[in-house]
């Protein structure tokens, strides 16, 4: 957290040590890997409500993420109000129509073809929750003092990953959505100009008819994403 007054470094004993033996660590890592492989991005949601307390607990988990100078430069707006969701959908689709009409460029549009996306975003109405993620480019104290945040994209990206994992752990599906531009979200969510909207997460339970693109199941093999240099 940012402190305007001078603060000193005060080390504390590690509050929670979750270390485990090597065999237990391997088992835990493997189980977590296999569980996360069950996480799927869907575009077809049930309208069934999800308790606010579940969403709040998942956002609280996201708030435990590490951040530059511990400034925690993020804000999450969780929306279940149907009228507000509809306004977000209308604004997002306006941007999406322009994107799919050619604004995105041929290469980008070609890359999206196997994903099966389009300008229509009914999930923004149907999913019981939309979580809009904002990055705080700089902070403001109560008395109007402006201060700098550090490693903002990296910090918000980590927190978003925590949030998606927490939602999956709670048995929920989430769809990332990034209309471009997204400035309209500041006004709709009543957030200051110091914050930049980076993503909308549609959150809920998948419908019985939910599908995933076949290409989404193709992941890079470990050898392509991991390099080990042994000493």
What ranges do the domains of the chain cover?
A: 55-207
Q: Which CATH class is domain 55-207?
A: alpha beta
In this prediction, residue 103 carries a pLDDT of: 86
In this prediction, residue 19 carries a pLDDT of: 97
Count H helices and E strands in the chain, helices first.
8, 6
pLDDT in tens, 131-152: 999 999 999 888 888 999 999 9
pLDDT at position 45 over 90: yes
Q: What pLDDT band is residue 208 in, cutting at 50, 70 and 90?
A: very high
Long-range contacts of 215-221 (CB under 8 A, 24+ apart): 215/114, 215/115, 216/40, 216/41, 216/115
pLDDT at position 181 over 90: no
pLDDT at position 205 over 80: yes
pLDDT in tens, 104-130: 888 988 888 988 888 999 999 999 999
pLDDT at position 46 over 80: yes
Strands (DSSP E) contained in 80-183 are 129-136, 138-140, 146-148, 173-177
């Amino acid at each position: 957290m940012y402190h305007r007054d001078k603060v000193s470094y005060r080390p504390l004993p590690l509050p929670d040590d979750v270390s485990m033996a090597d065999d237990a660590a391997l088992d835990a890592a493997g189980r977590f890997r296999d569980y996360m492989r069950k996480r799927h991005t869907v575009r077809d949601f049930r309208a069934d409500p999800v308790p606010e307390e579940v969403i709040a607990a998942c956002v609280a988990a996201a708030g435990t993420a590490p951040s530059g100078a511990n400034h925690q430069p993020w804000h999450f707006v969780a929306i279940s109000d149907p009228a507000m969701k509809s306004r977000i959908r209308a604004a997002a689709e306006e941007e999406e129509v322009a994107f799919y009409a050619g604004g995105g460029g041929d290469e980008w549009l070609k890359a999206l073809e196997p994903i099966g996306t389009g300008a229509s975003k009914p999930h923004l109405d149907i999913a019981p929750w939309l979580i809009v993620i904002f990055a705080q480019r700089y902070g403001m104290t109560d008395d109007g003092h402006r201060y700098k945040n550090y490693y903002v994209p990296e910090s918000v990206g980590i927190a978003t990953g925590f949030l998606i994992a927490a939602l999956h752990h709670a048995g929920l599906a989430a769809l990332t959505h990034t209309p471009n531009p997204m400035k309209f979200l500041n006004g709709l969510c009543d957030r200051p100009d110091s914050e930049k909207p980076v993503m909308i997460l549609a959150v809920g339970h998948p419908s019985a008819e939910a599908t995933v693109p076949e290409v989404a199941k193709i992941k890079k093999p470990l050898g392509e994403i991991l390099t080990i240099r042994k000493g």
